[in-house]
Amino acid sequence: MHLSTTDSTIISIPELRDTLNGRVITPGDPDYDQARTVFVGGIDRHPAVIIKAADANDVAGVVSLARETGLELAVRSGGHSTAGHSTTEGGILLDLSSMNALDIDVEHHTAWAQTGITAGQYTTAAAAYGLATGFGDTGSVGIGGITLGGGVGYLVRKHGLTIDDLLAAEIVTADGRLLRTDPETHPDLFWAIRGGGGNFGVATRFQFRLHPLDRIVGGMLLLPATPEVIAAFVAEAEAAPEELSAIADIMPAPPMPFLPAEHHGRLVVMATLVYAGNPEVGQRTVAPFRALATPIADLVRSMPYPEIYPRTTATSTRQRWRARCS
């Protein structure tokens, strides 16, 4: 089978399947539509071919294929890009989700993670050792995208951005080479992937710093979005100790199952609070936020850190609704 993508570009699918260790999915395959779907609604694109890489060699092969054919290359970790970077129309989609290995060094508080692992998977595995790295606010986000985007998450005030905990990376560059980069090895590339912007290659593995963290006081808090509440919320967040990180959206309330129907669509402060410190101090720290107004919903409690990424639809609904409203 040969896939014609333009008048002059032909991809040999049998050759790809013989060469690569991962899966090669084409528009004629039964799972094509599922494989091309991204997290954010409203983005509906049709890649010429989807390649679920199994390892760094596959990634290098796909990068070389894109260079040789001139086709657009989209790279997907978790598929959450609101700008649509997780897919392509008529190009090559490189899906890293099968590359999700994690190697935790408990003694040195570091971890090597393949870039297809999700924030939730990484956080749950690290929590078994009482350790954590800060990622974004949704468990299904791939660490590849959130890290290269900077990484604003629930531990940001205490431990900084995700890139502040990035110690090293392995990257396939445009010429198909697999390079290790860190502060001493290819330091310019290491600087570039930590906020330089642009495309410098496809990251296949990251080494992160881990921080001791057992339980948190955290969860979702919904308040009426009056001018007074919004101003007071910002003031409380600025005055709070660095152990408290707050991610808040002013937005119409999504139709989440725990919200009474009369609040659906009304403007609210939808906040997630995380206090990464002593639970008793944490309860005292979040109390002023609860006192700003009668909460519409209060899910803040003491919990193991991974539970901030719930398996229920609450956070996913907020993420999708946020993208829809932006």
Q: Which CATH class is domain 2-95?
A: alpha beta
Count how many Cα atoms sit within 13 Å of the Cα of residue 79 in the half-sphere of its side chain: 23
DSSP state of 262: G
Could you tell me the pLDDT band of residue 323, with boundaries at 50, 70 and 90? low
Q: What angle do CA 89, 143, 51 make, to 5 degrees?
A: 35
* Least confident piece of the model among 7-21, 175-189, 193-207: 7-21
For the chain, the domains span: 2-95, 102-212, 215-325
Mean pLDDT of 160-189: 97
pLDDT of residue 223 exceeding 50, the answer is yes
**In the CATH scheme, what architecture does the domain 102-212 have?**
2-Layer Sandwich (3.30)
Whole-number pLDDT of residue 197? 72
Query: Encoding tokens for residue 87?
Result: 């897919």
Whole-number pLDDT of residue 290? 97
Q: State how far the Cα of 185 lies from the Cα of 179, in Å rounded to an integer.
A: 9
Q: Beta partners for 217?
A: 275, 302
Whole-number pLDDT of residue 7? 43
Number of other CB atoms surrounding residue 107 within 10 Å: 6
pLDDT tens per residue across span 87-136: 999 999 999 999 999 999 999 999 999 999 999 999 999 999 999 999 99
pTM comes to: 0.91
Q: Strand 301-304 relative to strand 215-224: parallel, antiparallel, unpaired?
A: antiparallel
pLDDT of residue 8 exceeding 50, the answer is no
Could you tell me the pLDDT band of residue 72, with boundaries at 50, 70 and 90? very high
List all residues 6 or more positions away from 8 whose beta carbon is below 8 Å from its beta carbon: none
Mean pLDDT of 208-221: 97
Q: Beta partners for 51?
A: 24, 94
What mean pLDDT value characterizes the chain? Answer: 92
In this structure, which CATH number among 3.40.462.20, 3.40.50.300, 3.90.1170.50, 2.60.40.10 belongs to the domain 215-325?
3.40.462.20
pLDDT tens per residue across span 36-66: 999 888 899 999 999 999 999 999 999 999 9
Torsion angle (degrees, nearest 10) of CA 80, 214, 242, 247? 30
